[in-house]
Amino acid sequence: MATVKDLVEDWIEIRSTLQRQLEMLESGQMQTGTHLSDTTMRETIVRIKTWIGELNALLKEYARA
């Protein structure tokens, strides 16, 4: 059975992965294999930033538990 500590550790790992992906997308280092429009790329970046923000909120709430 997972504990809150297990969840927090998973969230930290997921956030780190998303931060690396965001950095690669913003720097143009990520090769998608297909051409993405600028609009799609911007929307993807915004979506990832939102996910990171949501993970930060979860960590803020549950990391002290």
Long-range Cβ contacts of 3-7 (<8 Å, 24+ apart): 4/62, 4/65, 7/62
Q: What is the mean pLDDT of residues 4-15?
A: 95
pLDDT of residue 64: 77
User: Which pLDDT tens digit goes with each residue over 17-38?
Assistant: 999 999 999 998 766 666 778 8
CB 38 within 8 A of CB 12: no
